[in-house]
Amino acid sequence: MTAATTTPSTTRGTVQGQEYHQKSDRGARIRMYIGLAVLVIWGLAPFYWMVVTAFRDVGYTFDTTPWPTHVTLDNFTTAFSTARGNHFGAALVHSIIIGIVTTAVAMLVGVFASYALARLQFPGKYVVLGIILGASMFPGVALVTPLFQLFSNIGWMDGANYQALIIPNISFALPLTIYTLTAFLAEMPWDLEESARIDGCTQGQAFRKIMLPLAAPGLFTTAILAFISSWNEYLLAQQFSTKQTQTVTVAIASFTGAQPHQEPYTAVMAAGTIVTVPLIIMVLIFQRAIVSGLTAGGVKG
């Protein structure tokens, strides 16, 4: 084993000694590359088609040339135009506000609970975990009917009442935040905290000064996941948002074109590209952290 890893010569195909497919033949490698190609096409092809269409002249909407043709930026202008009653630009601002507040509140409340769940033994701990998981399995429609009535009664169904969207969003973001953070916190080198406490820190001090900086990547990943959950929410936003609070998902779903019942595909694809590209960039940059956040508790590092 050591010989294989130390000799820099032709170590073709000799993967780690632990791997069982050590003597992988040519056929297996070819099959692996075909599989990888399928994976990449799976992930990219529909997204690619959205971007290509976003840059395609509206007169050539159904041109099926696989590469960009009739390239134009008009669709982006159309997407932001308010002439046909679409308020996509405003919706972007609303979604950002709602996303940031939701994330901040969910993180603030969630970090305490996650610390307790990851680090402390207390009575009813597993009941609390059960409640949080139950909340994450909760169907959104079951919230709509009662909240619809409640929000109507207290006058949140019109005007710029962001809280009507933020509060239900927190109920989805909070279980997600706690679950992800608990897994992250459980994986941290807590021996350092004990050393700090032996050196005279209180548990709170040890957490703030030693552990919090170490937890920063986990906190950041969790915040991204919480923000994405709020950004992507549609069902409740569609029911509770008003003209002044309409979110991007609602704006895109209800995009109207030049004629009624005619879908303005190219403009919608342009709007979809604008909404998606920031998320894609985040995914590309933080791919490792997001995957470990998604599978936290499973794989280390």
**Which residues, 118 to 147, sit near other proteins by CB under 8 A?**
118, 120-147
Task: Provide DSSP, the chain.
Answer: -HHHHH--S--TT---TT-S-TT--HHHHHHHHHHHHHHHHHHHHHHHHHHHHHTB-GGGTT---SS--SB-SHHHHHHH--TTS--HHHHHHHHHHHHHHHHHHHHHHHHHHHHHHHH---TTHHHHHHHHHHHHT--THHHHHHHHHHHHHTT-SSSS-THHHHHHHHHHHHHHHHHHHHHHHHTS-THHHHHHHHTT--HHHHIIIIIHHHHHHHHHHHHHHHHHHHHH--HHHHHH--TTT--HHHHHHT---SSTT---HHHHHHHHHHHHHHHHHHHHHTHHHHHHHHTTTTS--
Please report whether residue 113 would count as binding other proteins according to CB under 8 A.
yes
Residue of the chain from 6, 9, 10, 16 that contacts other proteins (CB under 8 A): 16
Residue of the chain from 87, 89, 163, 197 that contacts other proteins (CB under 8 A): 197
Residue of the chain from 57, 80, 96, 187 that contacts other proteins (CB under 8 A): 187
Residue of the chain from 172, 210, 223, 241 that contacts other proteins (CB under 8 A): 172
**Burial of 74 from C-beta contacts in 10 A (0-12 / 13-18 / 19+):** middle
Least distance (Å) from other proteins to the CB of residue 287? 4
Q: Please state, in angstroms and as integers, the Cα–Cα distance from residue 71 to each residue in 64, 125, 273, following that order.
A: 14, 58, 15
Give the footprint of other proteins on residues 51-90 (CB under 8 A).
53, 62, 64
Nearer to other proteins among residue 77 and residue 287 (C-beta): 287
Please report whether residue 161 would count as binding other proteins according to CB under 8 A.
no
What number of chain residues touch other proteins (CB under 8 A)? 128
Please report whether residue 150 would count as binding other proteins according to CB under 8 A.
yes
CB under 8 A: which stretch of 74-82, 84-92, 176-184, 211-219 binds other proteins? 176-184
Residue of the chain from 101, 107, 223, 296 that contacts other proteins (CB under 8 A): 296
Least distance (Å) from other proteins to the CB of residue 161? 16
Give the footprint of other proteins on residues 209-268 (CB under 8 A).
225-226, 228-236, 238-239, 248-250, 252-253, 255, 263, 265, 268
CB under 8 A: which stretch of 4-12, 83-91, 157-165, 272-280 binds other proteins? 272-280
Least distance (Å) from other proteins to the CB of residue 257? 12
Residue of the chain from 5, 73, 82, 112 that contacts other proteins (CB under 8 A): 112
- 12: number of Cβ within 10 Å: 6
Residue of the chain from 5, 11, 15, 216 that contacts other proteins (CB under 8 A): 15
Residue of the chain from 58, 116, 157, 214 that contacts other proteins (CB under 8 A): 116
